[in-house]
Structure 1
Amino acid sequence: MAITEVIVIGGGAAGFFSAIHAAQAAHTQVILLEAGRQPLAKVRISGGGRCNVTHHCFEPSQLVQNYPRGGKALRGAFSRFQPLDVVRWFNGEGVKLKTESDGRMFPITDDSETIVEALIFAAKKAGVFLRNNVLVQKIERFGSSKFEVILKNGETLVCDRLLLATGSSPSGYAIARSLGHELESPVPSLFTFNIKDPKLHELAGVSVNPAQVKLLIPSLSTDKKKSVRNQLEQSGALLITHWGVSGPAVLKLSAWAARELHDCKYQAKLAINWLHKLKAEEVKQILLNAKTEQPKKFISNYCPVDVSLRLWEYLLDKAEVALEKRWADISHKSIQQIANVLTASEYAIAGKGAFKEEFVTCGGIRLQDVNFQTMESKICQGLFFAGEILDIDGVTGGFNFQNAWTTAWIASQGIIA
């Protein structure tokens, strides 16, 4: 029976970051257990292989607005460790980050391996003992203040502080339950929408920035609709795909409405304003002006609003307006139909798609059961949490990694206190 002071289960961003900082404390032995053959798998694939490390938002009160769940709990946490601290830490490890126009921050190499190598090197330098391909079978309390970590190979490790950084892994949830914790039911967050519209699919690759998207879920009670009204409407870039729609606007909407969409089995209506916040009456006037000013032009060739010609032709077809007509021949009824389609096209959502190879989960350890000053369990002394295992999730843009870095750092400080 091997005895160590700290065991971290989960070799992802949160697990590594907490292990590094805990091990840097004098006389603290740290073992990091990873079930896979390679650690940091999610870091490797994030941001299309570039790793969206964090977001260029250094004001905690603004930062928390990007978390559908957990923002309130993170407010104080971000005042202690925020994106600027992450930038400084990686800079100290020889990794410089850059900021893109939308605020996302990446290593200047545009290669996630840069982040992976920095974390692995820092862990080795700090004396973390990393063990890959190790499956934890169960955890038991040993005496009054120690944990027995029983591995699938029959080996048993003993520690007096245990950190779970297992993300959305069912095995991590099972361990937490065995130690007395209840969970908010895990459901998917950050996903794309499937829409069965072959003509829309033909526009795959066309993007609109910004667009406004709104969910219409008839099954929601009146009270529930009022409480989530702002969450069910988002703005941002929208991308048409060969299965439906994606892009930041859709991903944000899927995150804020993760539970509502899960409850309706991902069968809902989506309204798209292709012209962002323009109202139908405003667009109608733009179209009437086009009719007056360009009467001889074919409607298919002259688009007076800010969408591509391919999308314009598709939307005219959706409004049941013949493409071979000239502007002079367009009736006022047709003008109204086009305005309605431009500002409130409705689509039936028929399920969800994946967001690249990444995934984020809404749900996990109940936040009221965790002390956010230390990330220690209020139910089981000596047990700590970090990262996505908690009921915290952010929208796309580096916010989920920031949750990992922040909760991991705070957990490490709690562990060594």
Structure 2
Amino acid sequence: MDNHKDIIIIGGGAAGFFAAINIAIKNPDLSVAILERGKVGLQKVKISGGGRCNVTHAEFIPADLTMNYPRGEKELLGPFHTFMTGDTISWFEERGVELKIEDDGRMFPVSDSSQTIIDCFLKESKNYGVEVLYNQSVTTIDTSDSIFKISTKATAFTCDKLVVATGSNSKIWNILEGLGHTIVKPVPSLFTFDIKDKRITNIPGVVAKDVEVKVLETNLVSTGPLLVTHVGLSAPAILKLSAFGAIELAKRDYKFKIQINFIQLSREVCIDALKSIKLDFAKKNIINSTQFDLPKRLWKNLVLASGISEFTKWADVNKNQLEHLSIQLTEAIFEVTGKSTFKEEFVTAGGVDLKEINFKTFESKVIPKLYFAGEVINVDAVTGGFNFQNAWTGAYIVSQSIGQ
């Protein structure tokens, strides 16, 4: 095996393969190799979207797309004008991988299998002569003598240009820090909230379609669906908070209080609505006449939490009870005691400081001919295919700049 390559990509994940393939397409005379630390690559692709691979999101305006990145919003605006959602769709379709849009905007392969994406990458790598080397865990990178010297646990390599696409990898971050880069300390980004509360403990699987959630004593607020889990709360309303509040919530050691408005009405408007409902449903039990399009089991628990018994009819409910029910519906307080990883997809805030990257090329400002793609840099997104879109965009721009 020739241990000198023109281009080496460290990291056999989504960004690494996408960069390698596009580099090889643009520069067919260059030798391109991927160093993957594991026995197989593309494992995050494999588990993404519950095994279906959430390739991207159907957002086609660059400025709107950037709004989904708590870290990277400003920096990605230019790159998204170069390569974004429509380009991603075209790239895969040109290779026989058709994507579909789901109701919430997420995009998956029509096959509903992440293996379709993996097979595409492996096939294209072979077609364009990309060498994929497994069990190559990088231990050192040396930048002396105008070339890169890379040692792995298995062997040593040299290359003229280097792309780091390792995602959230503390060992690689330590190496890059040793080379002079600033690393923003990583903290978890996408995670669910652990909550022990009798209002939700017996109703896992229940979804409230459109709620507002605030983290008390902060400016953090989000809206969207809310899912009750076996350990607490999840779904976009929570995951957006976890992403945009990643640093703040880490400082609080993931112990804080949230306020939920389950119906997105003010308490005053809610009370007025409840008074009208009281007249219209006078003879019915409150607990059995669900209102505001809430799930029945959630409505029941909120009614009971208001101090209203399961036998109380609307005609018999008093002003004080209506007040308490309005609070449960619009200003319910829950205590968060910790976090849980969202599915199997671990996303972090942190990585190479964005100030040290030229976002026209994704080249390091500290070390010439060193490039970055994907979550190795301090960019992360909310759930829905946005983290992959960052990977595709960065990797593509690297591929276009690296042969020049």
TM-score (ref. length: structure 2): 0.98
Residue of structure 1 aligned with 2:103, choices 101, 104, 107: 101
Q: How far apart are residue 291 of structure 1 and its match?
A: 1.4
| Aligned match of 1:4 | 5
Consecutive unaligned residues in structure 2, runs of 5 or more: none
1:364 maps to 351
Question: 2:353–2:377: 8 Å Cα contact kept in structure 1?
Answer: yes
Q: Is the 8 A contact 2:271 2:326 kept in 1?
A: yes
Q: Which amino acid aligns with 2:231?
A: W
Work out whether 1:233 is the aligned partner of 2:221: yes
- 1:260-302 Cα offsets, whole Å, 9 max, x none, are 0000000000111111x21111111111112112222111112
Match of 1:294 among 271, 281, 289: 281
Partner residue, 1:307: 294
Quote the Cα distance in structure 1 between the aligned partners of 2:368 and 2:100: 40
C-alpha distance in 1 between matches for 2:127 and 2:201: 51
* Equivalent-residue separation in structure 2 for 1:72 and 1:381 (angstroms): 23
1:59 pairs with 57, 61, 69, which one? Answer: 61
Which whole-Å deviations, capped at 9, do the CAs of 1:211-266 have from their partners, x for residues lacking one?
A: 1111114xxxxxxx4xxx2xx11111100011100011110111010000000000
Counterpart-to-counterpart distance in 1, 2:387 and 2:21 = 19
Equivalent residue for 1:181?
A: 181
Alignment partners' CA distance in 2, 1:73 and 1:294? 55
**Deviation, structure 1 residue 199:** 4.5
Residue in 1 aligned with 2:366?
A: 379
How far is the alpha carbon of 1:209 from its aligned partner?
0.7
The residue aligned with 2:384 is 397
Question: Who is 1:38 aligned against?
Answer: 40
Q: How does 1:1-400 map to 2 (within 5 A)?
A: 2-24=3-25, 25-143=27-145, 145-153=146-154, 155-217=155-217, 225=218, 229=219, 232-275=220-263, 277-400=264-387
The alignment partner of 2:378 has SS state of: coil
Is the contact made by 1:181 and 1:379 (CA closer than 8 Å) also made in structure 2? yes
Q: Aligned AA for 2:237?
A: A
* Cα deviation 1:177-229 (Å, max 9, x = unaligned): 12210111100001000001244121101101111111114xxxxxxx4xxx2
Amino acid at match of 1:29: S
Root-mean-square deviation (Å): 1.1
Name the SS of the counterpart of 1:150 in structure 2.
strand
Q: Could you tell me whether the CA contact under 8 Å between 2:291 and 2:299 is conserved in 1?
A: no
Q: Aligned with 2:397: secondary structure? A: helix
Separation of aligned partners in 2, 1:304 and 1:201: 21
Alignment check: 8 A CA contact 2:60 2:86 kept: yes
Of stretches 110-119 and 1-10 in structure 1, the one that deviates more from structure 2 is 1-10
Is there any run of 5+ residues in structure 1 with no aligned partner, and where? 218-224
Distance in 2 separating the partners of 1:93 and 1:16:
14
Q: Give the partner amino acid of 1:293.
A: D
**After TM superposition, which residue ranges in structure 1, 4 or more long, deviate above 4 angstroms?**
none
- The Cα of 1:58 is off from its aligned counterpart by 1.1
- Alignment partner of 1:201: what SS? coil
For the residue of structure 1 that corresponds to 2:351, the secondary structure is strand
Distance (Å, rounded) in 1 between the aligned partners of 2:290 and 2:16 = 53
The answer as to whether partners of 2:215 and 2:221 remain within 8 angstroms in 1 is yes
CA–CA distance in structure 1, aligned partners of residues 3 and 311 of structure 2? 80
Contact residue 10 and residue 34 of structure 1 kept, 8 A: yes
Residue type matched to 2:185 in 1?
A: S
AA matched with 1:393 = D
Task: Give the distance between the partners of 1:241 and 1:156, measured in 2 at CA.
Answer: 47
Q: 1:394, 1:400 within 8 Å by CA — same for their partners in 2?
A: yes
User: Which SS does the other structure have where 2:258 is aligned?
Assistant: strand
C-alpha distance in 1, partners of 2:144/2:129?
Answer: 25
Tell me, yes or no, if the aligned pair for 1:271 and 1:344 is still in contact at 8 Å.
yes
Contact conserved, 2:62 with 2:80, CA < 8 A, in 1?
Answer: yes
Taking the aligned partners of 1:44 and 1:52, their CA distance within structure 2 comes to 10
In the alignment, the residues of structure 2 paired with residue 409 and residue 304 of structure 1 have an alpha-carbon distance, to the nearest angstrom, of 50
The whole-number CA distance in structure 2 between the counterparts of 1:273 and 1:286 is: 15
3-state DSSP class of the match of 1:394?
coil
Contact 1:50/1:111 (CA < 8 Å) preserved in 2? yes
Q: Deviations over 1:155-174 (max 9, x none)?
A: 22111101100100112212
Aligned residues: 402
Q: Which residue type is aligned with residue 7 of structure 1?
A: I
